[in-house]
Structure 1
Amino acid sequence: MSWCLTRRGVEHVVLERATVGHEWADARWDTFCLVTPNWQCQLPGWPYRGDDPDGFMLRQEIVDYVRGYAASFDPPVQEGVSVEELTPAPGGGYLLHTSAGTITAEQVVVATGGYHRPVVPAFAGSLPAAVHQLHSQDYRNPAQLPPGDVLVVGTGQSGAQIAEDLHLAGRTVHLAVGPAPRIARTYRGRDVVAWLHDLGHYDMPVEEHRDGEAARLGTNHYVTGRDGGRDIDLRAFARDGMRLYGRLNGVEGGTLRFADDLTANLDAADRVSESAKDLIDRHIAAAGIDAPVEPRYTPVWTPGPDHPTTLDAAAVGSVVWCIGFRADYSWVRVPVFDGRGYPTHHRGVTSVPGFHVLGLPWLHTWGSGRFSGIARDAEFLAEHVAGRSSAGAASGLRRDLALAAAAPAATVG
């Protein structure tokens, strides 16, 4: 956003509560890597420039990419400044009450994403005190956990990859499998992301998605870029010793109780992956592409009729909660949120003049929450901000001198 505003000559300030790129540096595990190919990293003015476009950047490479981007144009970032409250200003614009004082701005772009508060269920408090618990954002490596079995709860991208990380390290892993979909890494000679890119899936507006705006609440497909990229096949993990269960429902009397939905969840994930292959097959046939034929997936393990739905909580030494995050906009005192606390908007423009959001999943397209599509969203918003900024200046909108800084636009991210 700052890059786009800078190009348009819009005065602005970027407020960052920690440091540029800190989430990538401080809230990811050691073996974390991208799950989309490096060539999809298309920040405005800063496309991927390495020598492995079909590879997957590791955590430190991602940090270097983001921080190198910032250094390339020296954005007006104020690090170590947290926004404690954002309110409408008398007479127009906004007041940002920060740890460094008050800032006034004609317009605001909230670019904090939607993953703010780690989710841990209330029944976590019923686990034995000896069980070590942590959220995925605090997981770093298997050695961090005490000896003993590990229960990983959730099979979105984080849960599936952390379970694999522990499994490859030789830990005994119990995995509570949810309804998250999966996707194949490669099919018919190419990365599936490349096929979906050609099919225009990353450019599809949310309004054209079969689920409409409900797509914004969906869970990402699990796959990995680890060791050059591969499928994550939970059935293969089970075949090789990982212990799978259905969704974790709670803890009763020291017993972990799981839903009897493991088979359904595994089958549903497979159907999503195979349906993507159907799309690819039709695209190849329609375009007359010469691509190698590949056999379809055959399940390598299936739960038996007596598969367990309980586990003695004392049998595990650690639990890693991988069930996501909740958005927390409690600091924003602007009436733009629906009953779920989600900001209502069209392509990041809300119904409240001068208040915008950026970087949310499916903000406009599937690429919106990714390095591949953020440039398009930022360009669209920058045009809107620049247009309003010019109109505001023409009408004599007052810019109050603030304790920290005053600017026509402020980006919080």
Structure 2
Amino acid sequence: MPIEKIHTLVVGGGQAGIAMSEHLSRQGIEHLVLERHRIAEKWRTSRWDSLVANGPAWHDRFPNMTFDDIDPLSFASKDRIVRYFEEYAKQINAPIRCGVEVFSAAPKSDAYGFIVETSEGVIEAENVVAATGAFQRPIIPPVIPVDAGVTQIHSNEYRNPAQLPQGAVLVIGAGSSGSQIADEILRSGRTVYLAVGPHEKPPLRYRGKDFCWWLGVLGHWDIETPDPLTEHVTIAVSGANGQTVDFREFAERGMKLVGKAERYESGILHIAQDLAQNIADGEASYMALLDEADAYAEKHGINLPDDPDARRMRPMPDCVSNPILEIDLKAAGVRSVIWATGYALDFSWIKGGDFDHKGRPRHEKGITHIPGLYVLGLPWLTRRASPFIWGVWHDAEHLSAHIAGRQENDRVGSIIGMSEPESAY
């Protein structure tokens, strides 16, 4: 089979790969996008049925296409988001080849370009963009043994409450995924335990504006990456029910809040004594954002409606004041554990790359130390907005400019190399 040659190969056909394709096309750079399944596959098969975007439709999109059939202030469903990416790929005529898996990408022996092994043969590329995003390998910490007599799944396998065995459910992790899943299961009539770790908790709306608007005008989205290996901040926010995530309100409706799951012994899950601190820190971040928003509105003379209810706190739940430190899973009727504990990166297919002990690529705003190798779609790639739909679009613009610069340097170098040397006479 002949070797296919391409200037720039983009691996991944989700939001990062589509954004990269648009900007490469704008730069006039020949490229190909490979996707091992379908466009936006993670949105299709690794999300629960009722998932909606964390941000409103006016915000969670690319700049050049709106959601034309839903209210800009509403939150798009996962199926609508999939359709959005499919339509966007058609709009920009992205050269996406689906059903092709990339097995490896290795620098060529002459140190210029890459040999890429795929399920459809070998491709030579001058540049490779790893646009596989951050949701690569689900993490289930080895706390509860597999023979503990409970069903354990990661949040990427959860679809709806009906799939779970009858009985109580323990959800571990209270970011956007964990808080949405726990709330849905509680509303279905189940007993729910929710392990709440460190988090930030913005208001869904405040003084007539949503949290995405506030984070924008306050400059939070543009906070630059303090370090290429900065961890992603867990944010407890959900557009599913039209209200701010409030763990006190969850407890008021019967949810049992607990701290970090530490260890399991003889049927007993031991819980850390960090719940009160985690709740307090999350609420402090919430109040700090309200204060910052008020100061901004006053400074700029923006006439916004008052919102005193946003600062009213429900009573502290008993499960926080008198924390549960042990759960006898059998006695509590816990038959299911859902781990909403995030993902690890998996760049094992990149050979000769430079990675840290957690498998994270060393890079500077997506540009790695390996010439021609780029990463896109990771948290804090260039700034706080990087993993979000509109944020990755701007990061792709930055990387495409760098790739175009490499191409121009190669062109100039080729011309100089081909020119006749001046005569010595």
Same fold? TM cut 0.5: yes
Aligned residue number for residue 3 of structure 2: none
In terms of Rg, which structure is larger?
2
Question: Does residue 1:247 correspond to 2:238, yes or no?
Answer: no
Aligned 8 A contact 1:106 1:389 in 2:
no
User: Equivalents in 1 of 2:109, 2:351: separation in Å?
Assistant: 13
Q: Secondary structure at the match of 2:367?
A: coil
* Structure 1 residue 266: Cα displacement: 0.9
Deviations 1:140-169 (A, max 9, x none): 000011111111111111111100110111
Q: What are the ranges of 5 or more consecutive residues in structure 2 without an aligned counterpart?
A: 1-19, 416-425
Q: What is the TM-score when the length of structure 2 is the normalising length?
A: 0.87
Q: CA deviation at 1:127?
A: 5.1
Distance in structure 2 (CA, Å) of the matches to 1:270 and 1:381: 37
- Counterpart contact for 1:146–1:317, Cα < 8 Å: yes
- Give the total of aligned pairs: 390
Equivalent in the alignment of 1:61: 80
2:176–2:237 CA contact under 8 A, matched in 1: yes
The Cα of 1:257 is off from its aligned counterpart by 0.9
Deviation at residue 323 of structure 1 after TM alignment: 0.8
Instruction: Give the distance between the partners of 2:136 and 2:312, measured in 1 at CA.
Output: 36
Q: Is 1:160 aligned to residue 176 of structure 2?
A: no
Partner of 1:356: 374
Name the structure 2 match of 1:31. Answer: 50
1:171 aligned residue = 190
Greater shift after overlay, 95-104 or 46-55? Answer: 46-55
Identity of aligned residues (%): 38
The equivalent of 1:224 in structure 2 is: 238
Which whole-Å CA distance do the structure 2 matches of 1:263 and 1:345 have between them? 37
Alignment match, 1:197: 216
Q: Deviations over 1:368-409 (max 9, x none)?
A: 111122221111111111221233355559xxxxxxxxxxxx
**Residues 163, 47 of structure 1: CA spacing in aligned structure 2 closer, same or farther, 3 A cutoff?**
same
1:411 maps to what in 2? none
Change (3 A) 1:203 1:307: closer
Equivalence for 1:118: 138
- Report the Cα distance in structure 2 between the residues aligned to 1:30 and 1:176, rounded to whole angstroms: 22
Distance 1:163 1:84 in 2: 37
Q: Could you tell me how far apart the structure 1 residues matched to 2:414 and 2:105 are?
A: 22
Measure, in 2, the Cα distance between the counterparts of 1:37 and 1:322: 22
* Structure 1: distance between partners of 2:65 and 2:25: 14
Which residue in the other structure is 2:251 paired with?
A: 238
- In the TM superposition, residue 218 of structure 1 has moved relative to its aligned partner by 2.9
TM-score by length of 1: 0.90
Partner of 1:101: 121
- Report if aligned partners of 1:176, 1:247 keep a CA contact under 8 Å in 2: yes
SS of aligned partner of 1:137: coil
Q: Secondary structure at the match of 1:235?
A: helix
Q: What's the Cα RMSD here?
A: 1.8
| Contiguous gaps of at least 5 residues in structure 1 | 398-413
1:239–1:301 CA contact under 8 A, matched in 2? no
Is contact 2:53–2:60 with CA below 8 Å preserved after alignment? Answer: no
Secondary structure class of the residue paired with 2:363: coil
Q: 2:323 aligns to what?
A: 307
Give 3-state SS (helix, strand or coil) of 2:407's partner: helix
Alignment of 1:375-386 (within 5 A): 375-386=393-404
Instruction: Give the C-alpha shift of residue 213 in structure 1.
Output: 4.8
2:347 pairs with one of 321, 326, 329: 329
Task: Please say if residues 44 and 78 of structure 2, whose CA atoms lie closer than 8 Å, have aligned partners that are also in contact.
Answer: yes
Q: Kindly indicate whether the alpha-carbon contact (under 8 Å) linking 1:245 and 1:308 is maintained by their aligned counterparts in 2.
A: yes
The answer as to 2:285 corresponding to 1:267 is no
Pick 1 or 2: higher relative contact order, CA cutoff 8 A, min separation 6.
1
Query: Which residue identity lines up with residue 297 of structure 1 in the other structure?
Result: R
Deviation at 1:185?
0.8
Whether the aligned pair in 1 keeps the contact of 2:140 and 2:341 (CA below 8 Å) is: yes
Residue 134 (structure 1) shift: 0.8
**By how many angstroms is 1:13 displaced?**
0.9
CA distance in 2, matches of 1:349, 1:68: 29
Contact (CA 8 Å) 2:228, 2:362: kept in 1 or not? no
Q: Which amino acid aligns with 1:113?
A: G
Q: List per-residue Cα deviations over 1:329-372 (Å, max 9, x = no partner).
A: 11211332233321122221122211111111111122211112
Change (3 A) 1:44 1:284: closer
Amino acid at match of 1:302: P
Look up the SS of the partner of 1:373 in the other structure. Answer: helix
Per the TM alignment, residue 126 of structure 1 is displaced from its structure 2 partner at its CA by 5.3
Q: Does the residue aligned with 1:391 lie in a helix, a strand or coil?
A: helix
Q: Map of 1:2-17 to 2, 5 A cutoff? A: 2-17=21-36
Amino acid at match of 1:313: L
Letter in 1 for 2:97: Q
SS at match of 2:390: coil
1:64-110 Cα shifts (integer Å, max 9, x gaps): 11111112123111211111111101221001111221111001111
Residue in 1 that maps onto 2:408: 390
Establish whether residue 280 from structure 1 lines up as the match of residue 300 from structure 2.
no
The one-letter amino acid paired with 1:184 is P
Instruction: Tell me if the contact between 2:228 and 2:365 (Cα under 8 Å) persists in the aligned partners.
Output: no
Asked if the contact 2:259/2:272 (under 8 Å) is kept, the reply is yes
